Structure 1
Amino acid sequence: MARNNSGNNGRRPIPRAAAKYTIYPVNEPAELMEFLMKKMDGISRTRVKALLANRVVLVDNNIQTQYNFPLKPGMKVQVSREKNKHEFRHPMLKILYEDAYLIVVEKKEGLLSVATDHQKERTAQHILNEYVKRTHRNNRIFVVHRLDRETSGIMMYAKDEKTQHTLRDNWHDIVYDRRYVSIVMGDMEKDQGTVRSWLTDRKLYVSSSPVDDGGKLSITHYRTIKRANGYSLMELQLETGRKNQIRVHMQSLGHPVVGDARYGCETDPLGRLALHAFKLCFYHPLTGERMEFETPYPAPFKNLMLRK
């Protein structure tokens, strides 16, 4: 009698679960687009871009959306077979860009950027940590800079500690344009100008001094876009990035940010702080590529400035 060597006592073999990814080892340097077109024989450039946009291409377990991402020998490229597995949806957070090294998001007002002793879960940091762990349980995100809870707009996080240190240690060389839009109280006297002062964090608020009193030197450039209805629409460019910097500097000019009770505004017509980080431009910390992100001014800002 023939022996059954299946190791399953004569029963039918249990079928293995279908692999979640098609994996392509990288043996020589190449850009991601040309690599996929070569490995996935017959696939078009348009189809590759669609795969990247749909967030189903990973490099070493990290989602990659950059078509010209530089691959090196030893890396592995994975194409997910599970549609929408990596789709990200959250009412307070939108992903604008992601690769193996960093993630750029737009957050809504009311959401903390990072965890605190009192709030750990309702933060952008926690939400993104849970998201990146979907692809690998050891993945996490690393804080690079912050936006106030009440401020909306664009910010970025690193996806590994080395990238975090590179961005933090070389911030002023890497980030070459960072702008906000705000509505402030009253008619701004100047069309443009610069506020320069020394800021000190007093925990409950930040104080400003026109002379060096031991605080941190802070510089904000401003441009008046429009004056209407007792308000001024401002574009602000940061030369330094201190806590509450724009809010304190606008108060020092006698034009506090609309909705900012902490720094002297007594009205809140929008039900939120009228401050939005609309532009972030930087050199990619690995590739050196210029990365530019911009969002429209929030619609409530525009509506408040419509002449009545």
Structure 2
Amino acid sequence: MTPFTLTYTVKREELLREALRSWGISKRTLAAVKYGGGRICVNGQEQTVRHVLEVGDSVSVEFPNEERSAGLIAEEGDLRIIYEDAALLVVDKRAGQNTIPSREHPVGSLANEAAHHFIEKSIPGTIHVVTRLDRDTSGLVCIAKNRHIHHMLSEQQKAKVMERRYEAVAHGRLIDEQLTIIAPIGRKDTSIIEREVRDGGQYAETRVKRLGGNKDFSHLQLELKTGRTHQIRVHLAHIGHPLVGDDLYGGKRTTIARQALHCTELRFIHPVTFEEIQLTSPLRNDMQQLLQTKE
């Protein structure tokens, strides 16, 4: 497999080490390149990080091929690819599918199917999930093809540059057309799965916009400003409007067999080209039918 390689043009005189840092290459990634079989070349010649760069030099970083975890079984499946290039993969996850395998579900996950895709396409990396979704939440998931791209996108998440928008159907009519929910989330003492708004929890912020609905339900657009486990589900339940179908947090499953939540949009800066990427996904049929039934 051809290693993943990035090439940079030097803009000012500086040490190679400093230039690599300015290009977002972390110490951990640099160590993997130096000791894991990668190479750093300046104008085609391999150099150490103490090399002094000159304006106009061409620096290429060849990242070592990454091996798939022994616990990640490659499995052919219905992988809905929305966007793909040498650095990343964005797919549309179906409801009822884990993002990554678990002890209870070692196969059938999105990561299992992506691993099969990597093998088929001779992609020299492994699965680095950037944006994870709950099992019953459908929609867009971003996967980095190597640890460096994962690091770059994770930094965008921390800096709130990456934007994620969702659509949901919640019980009851939300009075406000727009609101921001800021409430700390932590694990419930009596459960290893369930979360709740609680003192001492992690800061969590969700922005909510009502798109429609009636006295029985609200069709909502939500934007995550943080990425806590079950954040949308917990926050909506906290304000008295649990997701339709989310029986863990007070929703009813009489009209849909899963929580009515779908990741409709991802927006971020491409970590290689630095272009803005905006990707969308329409609601799945069960949510569309729910809205048609209710409205």
TM-score (norm 2): 0.70
Which of residues 186, 194, 219 in structure 2 aligns to 1:200? 186
**Contact kept? 1:201, 1:243, Cα under 8 Å:** no
Cα separation, 2, equivalents of 1:118 and 1:304: 30
Matches within 5 A, 1:106-117: 106-117=92-103
Letter in 1 for 2:182: R
In the alignment, does 2:247 pair up with 1:258?
A: no
- Structure showing greater radius of gyration is 1
Which of residues 95, 118, 121 in structure 1 aligns to 2:107? 121
Q: Quote the residue 2:146 is aligned against.
A: 160
Deviations 1:2-52 (A, max 9, x none): xxxxxxxxxxxxxxxxxxxxx9xx9x99xxxxxxxxxxxxxxxxxxxxxxx
**What percent of counterpart residues are identical?**
30
Deviations 1:43-63 (A, max 9, x none): xxxxxxxxxxxxxxxxxxxxx
Deviation at 1:133, TM superposition (A): 1.2
Q: Quote the residue 1:16 is aligned against.
A: none
Deviation at 1:268, TM superposition (A): 3.3
Matches within 5 A, 1:1-308: 90-91=77-78, 93-136=79-122, 138-173=124-159, 175-202=161-188, 203-209=192-198, 213-228=199-214, 230-306=216-292
**Contact kept? 1:144, 1:168, Cα under 8 Å:** yes
Cα separation, 2, equivalents of 1:229 and 1:156: 35
Letter in 1 for 2:249: Y
Residues 137/249 of structure 1: CA separation in 2 closer, same or farther (3 Å cut): closer
Cα separation, 2, equivalents of 1:304 and 1:135: 38
Aligned residue pair count? 228
Cα separation, 2, equivalents of 1:239 and 1:73: 35
Cα separation, 2, equivalents of 1:206 and 1:167: 26
Residues 73/197 of structure 1: CA separation in 2 closer, same or farther (3 Å cut): closer
Residues 74/250 of structure 1: CA separation in 2 closer, same or farther (3 Å cut): closer
- Unpaired runs of 5+ residues, structure 2, are 9-58, 63-74
TM-score (norm 1): 0.67
Q: Quote the residue 2:24 is aligned against.
A: none
Cα separation, 1, equivalents of 2:164 and 2:225: 8
Cα separation, 1, equivalents of 2:143 and 2:215: 38
**Contact kept? 1:150, 1:272, Cα under 8 Å:** yes
**Contact kept? 1:133, 1:140, Cα under 8 Å:** no
Deviation at 1:97, TM superposition (A): 0.8
Deviation at 1:214, TM superposition (A): 2.0
Residues 196/174 of structure 1: CA separation in 2 closer, same or farther (3 Å cut): closer
Cα separation, 2, equivalents of 1:228 and 1:303: 15
**Contact kept? 1:231, 1:305, Cα under 8 Å:** no
Letter in 2 for 1:294: T
- Unpaired runs of 5+ residues, structure 1, are 1-22, 30-71, 76-87
**Contact kept? 2:156, 2:162, Cα under 8 Å:** no
Residues 194/216 of structure 1: CA separation in 2 closer, same or farther (3 Å cut): same
Cα separation, 2, equivalents of 1:90 and 1:229: 40
Deviations 1:180-226 (A, max 9, x none): 000001111211101111101242200113xxx22100000101111
Cα separation, 2, equivalents of 1:74 and 1:192: 46
RMSD: 2.9
